Amino acid sequence: MVTTPIYLDYQATTPMDERVLDAMMPYLTSKFGNPHSSTHRFGWEAEAALDIAREQVAEVIGADAGEIYFTSGATEANNLALKGIMDVWGRKKPHLVTVVTEHKCVLEAAKAVERAGYRVTYLPVRPNGLIDLDQLAEAVTDETALVSVMAVNNEIGVIQPMADIGAICRAKGALFHTDAAQGFGKITLDVNAMNIDLMSISGHKIYGPKGVGALYKRSGRQTALTPQMSGGGQEGGIRSGTQAPALVAGLGAAASICKAEMAQEKDRLAHIMNRFKSKLFKELPSLLVNGDEEMRWAGNLNLSFPGLDGDLLLANIRSLAVSSGAACASAVSGPSYVLQAIGRTEALSKSALRIGIGRFTGDDEIDFAAETLISAVREMGGLKS
């Protein structure tokens, strides 16, 4: 018996793993100290939670623990990386390169960089959602301080060629930042092998708590950045403010679980998603997959339903929790800028749904979801061929 509604919006957020909650509980109860109180046991216990979590997060990406700085989430980490780096290096290298399909927080941070007087190049993507490496190489010059490219797209799930991007950045002398909110703990990311200098991480995308994330910043003078909040100089002076040990412990535990189960979970989700797609396309062959069908995260499927309105379709599938293509990336209504960037018409963009599966999605649920979607589409008159 399937319990509805079925949660299929894992790119928006993930349910917390009970093992993560267990790791957090001591710091919500008996170990309540301020981690920056260095004169007694309560502070030491809380500080230890941060130290352990720093190690756990670093191990996932091949970093050193001292290169992990805790933030309130990936949005803060992205702002810190783009604004902070350009503030330090912009006078010498006044150019930032990013991509038109980045998360809104990266694009808005890039606009802020422009308002500060620096140049920003917004690279287009190909119809499959991937960047053109030749265009990237041409865009990066001696004046480029930073290149920011998302690892896994939050709307269409495509995985950018991280190692190739990193190699270009290293050869050109530019720093490489990646928003890895959707990729950390899900795909293999190695900051050294991929020449990644800065990486933004989110807790609630990996079955951890909301309100916590991290910035990986490669140690060394070349990644010096300006803090974006004034305060007591916590987190090595990079991010002031009293840290929340419970949230940080949750992020660390979530990262550790993801590392241990990554390969197995990737295969399981690929199996489930292929099962789902086979059922859908057998009955609805006119469906369109948005984004590359090979270079993508297995837990994401973004589909356009030709001839249908995505919001009306959503209204007919209340037993499924999915996202509409009209506003996948933000609270702003209107067609998805990501889908428009890959060449989808406004009508196809508005017909899109994003289906996200994850750790707690089962075969019965995905079968029910496929049957529900097929039935709803038929009731609405079917798809245009």
Residues 212/234, Cβ–Cβ less than 8 Å:
no
| From 105, 169, 258, 328, the catalytic residue | 328
- Report d(CA 322, CA 384) in Å as an integer: 22
Residue 105 known to be catalytic: no
- Please list the active-site residues: 328
